[in-house]
Structure 1
Amino acid sequence: MSGLFRVLDTVADRLVVPGYSKLGFQLRRRGWPPLLPGSLRGRKAVVTGAGTGIGKATALGLARLGAEVVLVVRDERKGAAARDEIAAAVPGAVVEIRLCDLSSSESVRRFAASLDRLDILVHNAGVLPQERTETEDGHELTFATHVLGPLLMTDLLRPKLAASSDPRVVLVSSGGMYTQRLHADDPEYREGDYRGATAYARTKRMQVALAPLLSERYAQDGIGVHAMHPGWADTPGVAGSLPGFHRLTRTFLRTAEEGADTVVWLAATTPAPRSGQFWHDRRARPTHLLPTTGETPEAIDAFWQYSTSAVGLLP
């Protein structure tokens, strides 16, 4: 990447609209080398929330590179439709459907025990409730789905990932996390007026905080852990959960495939990207843009201690 192009890329990223929209993707992709066909042949990938949107597009991208793909969904009908669509686009692709609710520790444990092997784990499943809801385990729904479920699943699958020759974990976050600090003092959003979009952004900030923590935890196993955000993509989730935002930005939204590009790249590019970083459009990005969102080591430790305790893991 030339110096001028890097400057333009950074400016677009900081201005948000040009960087997160399809304009930013189309500008940046011109300098990207293609991923090699068959580069994931023989590798097994799990994608959560794979029934629609970026999850489905990620699964399709991985299948195109030769991976065997497990679609992890809550809705079997959507999973079957996604499987059929991927099979039609990639003749000969091996695609499975598994049911799992990331907000339920029992469901996560059952799913993890069912897998025989694993090379790539993509945490994409997401929710955006309008009212504060608690799960069967007694946790706030977005926190359980975006943080506790992925944390538990990754740790349970650690032995299978460690057995891979090149294991990788990707957390699909959101650019909205830039607006929030790490709420280690109230991870379950018990204080103040609950807003679904705020809860979503808070937990997406937590996912970004998890990446370096998990990277360090699994370093001895050679497991790379990456966080990324897809920019603004036109997905059923955005249209249904944020209709006003969708109406205002629809002309500039990326396709789901464009939003998923960096996920697929993180899973397939060689050599493996540096673990523990935050990515957007195939480039490592800063984790903070506002002075009010910075976190202390004490806050990070409190968040880690609370989260591991909530799912019954040793910190």
Structure 2
Amino acid sequence: MLDTLLDRSVVLGYSKLGYRLRSRTWPADDPAPNALAGKTAVVTGARTGLGKATAAGLARLGATVHLVVRDAAKAAATVDELRGEVPDATLIVDECDIADLDAVRRYAATLTTDIHALIHNAGVMPAVRTESPQGHELTLATHVLGPLLLTELLRDQLRSGRVILVASGGMYTQPLPTDPEYRGAPYKPAIAYARTKRIQVALTPLLATHLAPTFVATMHPGWSTTPGLTTSLPTFTKLTRPLLRTPTEGADTTTWLAATTPNPPTGNFWHDRRIRPTHYLKKTQHTPEATHALWTYCRTAAGI
């Protein structure tokens, strides 16, 4: 009952208070030490914020972690900081812009080992409508098209692995878009971001069916203090700063989903280690036909 009340209240459930109240019951549920020893994890958008915290969490559990970043040179400081947190970590920096489908294809060709966990964390919120090198709206390319393509290209390496997409509670405010490239309406950054997170969540059950027996999940981290949030939503960050979770708290469920055994139920949306509803508002409901149409569009746009 308390967990449900926290979730429905939004402010309490998404804040550090919600995390701290819920996490009191988690120690017995934590992954075993070295649960990921000998396994490989790939984390996109791993230079800062939630991606960096996820990489640290996976490394603590023994995984070899590939940090996928747009600029490898800028990730040197991240690696130094992670080694300070996890001295025995095995970290590999890989350069790839997930929004660039050609770069994704080149990158996927370099990954030849089995992958236990593929974490799609890379995120953007441009101030004006921006297009990827292939001409797709940038939030769609980064949050949906690039992840779909990379996952498809790594399908053989992921057969016994897990795919986790980092979404946002902001998706609860948005229906499934009929204009996924955001060409028709005046562009609003926060809406573009939330729309693509809604797409991630809506397509997760279809992706899970397509990839079976690979485990697939989306999750949302609550409100966490990250450089991206500060840059994109400075007023929101200033007003909610006392309530914001740390990146480690925000990344907890991602790490848990990657490492807990046995596999949790596939194809679901998670927050704070529990499956959550995908809709709270009637206006966001969508039909199976609309979901399948968007699935087809996104796969075609990604070149799958």
Q: Give the TM-score band, short-chain normalised.
A: over 0.9
Match of 1:172 among 161, 166, 175: 166
Q: Supply the distance in 1 between the matched residues of 2:52 and 2:124 (Cα, whole angstroms).
A: 16
Question: How high is the sequence identity, in percent, across the aligned residues?
Answer: 59
Q: Does 2:280 match 1:289?
A: yes
Which whole-Å deviations, capped at 9, do the CAs of 1:117-171 have from their partners, x for residues lacking one?
1111000000000100111101000000000000000000001112xxx400000
* Paired position in structure 1 for 2:52: 56
Native 8 Å contact 1:47 1:123 kept in 2: yes
Q: Please list, as runs of the form range in 1=range in 2, the aligned pairs for 1:73-84 lying within 5 A after superposition.
A: 73-84=69-80
In structure 2, distance between residues paired with 1:116 and 1:92: 24
**Residue type matched to 1:291 in 2?**
K
Do 1:51 and 1:75's aligned partners in 2 also have CA atoms closer than 8 Å? Answer: no
* Offset, 1:89: 1.6
How high is the TM-score relative to the length of structure 1?
0.94
User: Counterparts of 1:92 and 1:234 in 2: how far apart (Å)?
Assistant: 27
d(CA) in 2 for partners of 1:26, 1:95: 29
Contact 1:167–1:224 at 8 Å: present in 2 too?
yes
CA RMSD of the aligned region, Å? Answer: 0.8
1:249 aligns with 2:240: yes
Unaligned runs of 5+ in 1: 1-6
Corresponding residue for residue 136 of structure 1: 133
CA distance in 2, matches of 1:75, 1:13: 37
Say which of 168, 175, 178 aligns to 1:181. Answer: 175
Partner residue of 1:208? Answer: 201
Contact 2:31 2:261 in 1 (8 A): no
Cα contact 2:64–2:90 (8 A) shared by 1 = yes
- Once residues 88 and 133 of structure 1 are traced to their aligned partners in structure 2, the CA distance between those partners, rounded to angstroms, is 37
State the match for 2:262 in structure 1.
Answer: 271
State the alpha-carbon separation in 2 of the partners of residues 284 and 43 from structure 1: 25
1:40 matched to 2:36? The reply is: yes
- For residue 100 of structure 1, what is the aligned residue in structure 2? 96
What is the DSSP-based 3-state SS (H/G/I as helix, E as strand, rest coil) of the residue aligned with 1:31? coil
Are 2:217 and 2:269, in contact at CA under 8 Å, matched by a contact in 1?
A: yes
Contact 1:50 1:71 in 2 (8 A): yes
Give the Å deviation of 1:75.
2.3
1:233 is aligned to 224
Amino acid at match of 1:48: T
SS at 1:263 equivalent: helix
Q: Which runs of 5+ in 2 are unaligned?
A: none
Query: Partner amino acid for 1:174?
Result: S
AA aligned to 2:69 is: V
Aligned with residue 67 of structure 2, among 57, 64, 71: 71
2:79 and 2:90 mapped to 1: Cα distance?
9
Shift of 1:109: 0.4
Q: Write the letter of the residue equivalent to 1:282.
A: R
8 A contact 1:146–1:203 mirrored in 2: yes
Q: CA deviation at 1:179?
A: 0.2
Mean Cα deviation higher: 46-55 or 128-137? 128-137
Q: Is the 1:72–1:97 Cα contact (8 Å) retained in structure 2? A: yes
Asked if structure 1 preserves the Cα contact closer than 8 Å seen for 2:176 and 2:286, the reply is yes
Q: Which residue identity lines up with residue 16 of structure 1 in the other structure?
A: V
Partner residue in 2 for 1:304: 295
